[in-house]
Amino acid sequence: MFFSRLAQLFELLEKTSSRLEMTSMISDFISETPNELLPTVLLFLRGRVFPLWSEKELGIGDKLMIKAISGITSSSELEVEENIRIKGDIGLAAEELLLKKTQTTLFTEKLTVEKVHTNLVKLADLSGKKSQERKIGYISEMLSMGEPLEGRYLVRLILEQLRLGVGEGTVRDAIASVFDVDADLVERGRSLRCDLGEVAMIARIDGNKGLKEISMEPGRPIEVMLAQKAENIDEVLKKSNPSVFEIKYDGIRVQIHKGGDGIFLYTRRLENVTKQFPEIVSVAKEKIKSKSAIVEGELVAILSREDRHPRPFQNLSKRIKSEYRITELVEQIPVEVNLFDILYLDGRDLSGEGFLRRRKLLENVVEGVDNFRLSEYIISGDASEADVFYRKAIELGHEGIMAKNPDAPYQAGSRVGYMYKLKHVMETLDLVVVGATWGEGRRAHWMSSFLLALLDRDSGDYLTVGRMATGLSDEQFREITSLLKPLVLNQVGKEVEIKPEVVLEVAYNEIQESSKYGSGFALRFPRLVRIRYDKGVDDADSLERLRNLISQ
């Protein structure tokens, strides 16, 4: 398949804001896409080269791309940078420079989707000496083979800046429409496999029957079931009496997969953090008494083995981010896992079982020890008893409690009424940083005002909801700036556009209607709670949730 066909689709999608039109366009396109290219095309449509759970990364930044564009168009790097400044987009700049290029095209063959995918896989595998030069070589080869329009989207794809406004829901509905299958089954498959391309292949070949047979697989992360917020214990007990009340540990949610001799740890954003926690890998291998299993729990950084009070979240983030000094950090920042669910056991998908049944299986399968524990819980229909347990959780230094329906199945990727969280602090929002402003005076080297956005789950767009500029320490300004610097897409004066990647947990005084921001609302006095290293942009809060908070 020629890449020009995909580029033309991208251009059409970029010009429409109608979700129905987008769904129709994508349906028509994938109906003509051969089986072997379907996974690749669907990944490219979402602006990705690899599935979310893959450890492969392209690792291409603007500077390297500018070098490639400069070389292929015979323009100086300064000319490329000036063109980007004028156009406000590196893809559009590349397209214009490719139109103006005077050098003879190096290739007569046309660029194909297969060629793009092959080159990008090779590019991701490069490391060591001269890898940068070889990466430029692969990019230059593709730009030489493609037309200017293809160059626009190729550059954006490589830089993960495609931004077509195509959300997961749009692609899901397109798959359901073209292959005449149940959209709910497509969504279920996506949550269990985390790869719409693979799910589309199953839908095309085996229809609803094949989708129903999709199951979990150790070593392949799944999307977690999400909790809803409850105001108080009485509210929970009206929906499920009795309920299972668990401590809401102040850490990060992890899936631990055991398959044969292999142990794998994944965060809720599907990151593989196995290497960062060797002590958990070792104990899991010994204390999960089965050949294969997928268990779920909360990973918490603690003060010490004797004092299990949680450390500040930043301590845990340090361990997650570090791929070096691992042995040293194991000693400096001890952690423990508190397990609360089992989803898969020796070939059996347990998601259809009730929670209490799964919990009893977990207790039979896992031998709890010092740093590999079963979470504390009670079963009660008495609000007073639940409140005593809640206060115990707070005294231990944790966030509050979880309340679960004892008979509920596990719905991966869904925020259903089976699980509720009760926290002792006001409800916060997880927001994506999409812009910033450079500071002045002693803060001139830091970004000191951050434009925050919600996620529109249908379109994949980011809807601004306010700026956060006060209440941060110098250390926090420095830390956030270091995270955002590599993500700068465009700068005009002191204002910078940021690639959506960093998620911040934000508190606020109230939510007001406002035409100033894309969401139609503005946060009053937003302030930083913490950087959510454990969350990706797909975990950010939505406009729907913001409206729910307003209506409460």
Residues taking part in catalysis:
248
Task: Decide the pairing of beta strands 335-345 and 372-374.
Answer: parallel
Tell me the C-alpha distance between 436 and 117, whole Å: 33
The residues near 94 (Cβ < 8 Å, ≥ 6 apart) are 65, 69, 143, 148, 151, 152, 155
DSSP H stretches of helix in 309-426: 313-321, 326-332, 355-365, 383-395
Q: What are the distances in angstroms from CA 287 to CA 282, 331, 372?
A: 9, 21, 8
In 3-state terms, what secondary structure has residue 420?
Answer: strand
Q: Identify which of 220, 298, 299 has the alpha carbon closest to the alpha carbon of residue 257.
A: 220
**Residue 460: left (phi > 0), alpha (psi -120 to 50), or beta?**
left
Tell me the C-alpha distance between 310 and 396, whole Å: 8
The residues near 546 (Cβ < 8 Å, ≥ 6 apart) are 429, 454, 465, 511, 519, 521
The residues near 438 (Cβ < 8 Å, ≥ 6 apart) are 444, 446, 447, 448, 494, 496
For the record, the structure tokens of 245 come out as 């009340």
Could you tell me what percentage of the chain is helix, strand and coil, using 3-state DSSP and rounding each to the nearest 5? 45, 25, 35
For the chain, the straight-line distance linking the first and the last C-alpha, in angstroms and rounded, comes to 51
Tell me the C-alpha distance between 392 and 379, whole Å: 15
**Letter for the amino acid at 50?**
F
